[in-house]
Structure 1
Amino acid sequence: MRNNKFKNLLSLFVLLISLSGFSQELATPFAVADKTPVYPGCESLTGNDQKDCTVERITNHVNKNFNTALGKELNLSGRQRIVVKFVIGKDGEIRDVESRSLAKKAEVRASLQAEASRVIKSLPKMQAGEFEGEKVAIAYALPIEFATPQKENKNR
């Protein structure tokens, strides 16, 4: 009896995991898309100029909106790096945002990752990317790096 309950629970668990995998759309890598997503304001450009404009506008958005004062608040020094992966959906919306920091302290990692995710989620809706003539979700990865002042050596 107990073994049957365990098997039923295990089956339900496997079913839930497999169903959750279907809820996320598959994403085409940014580099292989026939037409990359288009950031607002880049629509009048074509080809690589449009792609470069989109990359530049995403980077500028992050640079403008990332709270670099967080480094001081967290008492950090030197370069901080967070890598953010996200998807620009078939509808142009940002989704599936994941960020990763290699900071040693868990609370610092969590703060940096939360800030990176917040900024990426604030990106505007874009025109969808295309692959083989169809609108597709596009996977995008962005390293975010900022420098905080080095702490002075007080032993001098």
Structure 2
Amino acid sequence: MNKIVSFSVFVLFTFNICAQEIEMFEEVYPNGQIKLLGELLDDKKNGEWKKYYETGEILKISNYKEGKFLDSKSYYKNGTLKLESEKVGEEILFKSYYETGELFEERIMFNGYFKEFNKAGVLRVKSNYENGYLSGTWIQFYDTGEKEWEVNYIDGYKEGNYVHYYRNGKVKEEGSLSNNLKEGKEKRYNEQGFLVWEGYYQKDTLSKKWKKYNSLGKKIKSVKYVNGQTINNEEELISTNIPNGVISTAVIHPECIELIGNKAIKKCTSEKITRHISRKFNTDLAGDLQLVGRQKIIVNFEIDEQGYVIGVRAKAPHPDLEDEAIRVVELLPQFKPGTKRGKPMELAFSIPVIFQIVN
């Protein structure tokens, strides 16, 4: 009798380790200290879940109802509130705090506003998110409250205009962006508002002729750039450094490195992981084990700060399926790690692998 195996893989990007399919879930550190403790109802998180530091202090308390997130609070080791989030309608309101207790960030997670404050309570950043990606005008303020930058974003990458301001409100620099890179004309002004320089960028590099003006608007000098370098050792300009408004970047599969923006990168990385598992997984194993019907394997793992896959574990109807899932995931290549505020960070993944075996 021949068996047909249909095979599906789904890649979920998540900051929380997904639960395994048991009534009570407990994960421990190598020293025996409880790491994560919670209850499952029909394979779904339910009630209060607690996560601990390796030294025993409470790290996070989350509440669920039949798999649906309700709220959570995370704490510094000293017991001070670090993060809190709660469901507001269809969105999640998120707040984070300095270790000394002052509000640091406030945002609606996927579709809504974002605000960042300094310890004195002064607004430092204001922006908006659509479908989880930075979109529209990102605004940065000086630590005394004056507007410093306006940068336009689409789907999490820089696209459109940018403007840099002096503290007195006058424009310092203005130009345009395409696919995260400076492209086209840029103008630079002095604090009195007079044009000083204007020129061009090509793929983020100083290009063509840059013209310098005096306070009367008369051109007094021109400098030509080729591939970012001046000709005849003329006066060199410094390329404008535009701040990055994107807080977190996604893990990147090595074949997705050239893509722009988290949205495209996540899609590509997900597809590459799915293809890898589909090609490497021994689908004959399910038939050899005489399994029938729908079979589901949950694989959890992390990608660390160096981009390596670590901590692979699996839950399946048969131990051999668990071993096979672990083997395949451990064959994934080294990734470019995800980052938060420019620093590499470890990210957790959960992958449901589903078999449908038909006689």
**Same fold flag (TM > 0.5):** yes
Choose between structure 1 and 2: higher strand proportion: 2
Distance 1:53 1:38 in 2: 8
Give matches, 1:6-17, under 5 Å.
16-17=31-32
Q: Is residue 73 of structure 1 aligned with residue 288 of structure 2?
A: yes
- Say which of 38, 41, 62 aligns to 2:255: 41
Deviation at 1:132, TM superposition (A): 2.0
Give matches, 1:83-122, under 5 Å.
83-101=298-316, 103=317, 109-122=318-331
Amino acid at match of 2:302: V
Deviation at 1:143, TM superposition (A): 0.5
| 1:67-97 deviation digits (Å, cap 9, x = unpaired) | 1100111001112110101000101110011
Deviation at 1:51, TM superposition (A): 1.1
Q: Aligned residue for 1:8?
A: none
Give matches, 1:117-136, under 5 Å.
117-136=326-345
Distance 1:139 1:132 in 2: 18
TM-score when normalising by structure 1: 0.71
Q: Is residue 137 of structure 1 aligned with residue 346 of structure 2?
A: yes
Amino acid at match of 2:319: A
Deviation at 1:16, TM superposition (A): 3.4
Distance 1:61 1:51 in 2: 15
Q: Which runs of 5+ in 1 are unaligned?
A: 1-14, 23-30, 104-108, 151-156
Distance 1:116 1:145 in 2: 11
Displacement over 3 Å in runs of 4+: none
Q: Aligned residue for 2:279?
A: 64
Q: Aligned residue for 1:9?
A: none
Deviation at 1:144, TM superposition (A): 0.5
Q: Which runs of 5+ in 2 are unaligned?
A: 1-29, 36-53, 56-109, 111-131, 133-246
TM-score when normalising by structure 2: 0.32
Aligned-residue sequence identity (percent) comes to 31
Aligned residues: 121
Distance 1:132 1:17 in 2: 32
Amino acid at match of 1:116: A
Amino acid at match of 1:17: G
Distance 1:149 1:87 in 2: 33
SS class of match (2:310): strand
Choose between structure 1 and 2: higher helix proportion: 1
Distance 2:31 2:252 in 1: 35
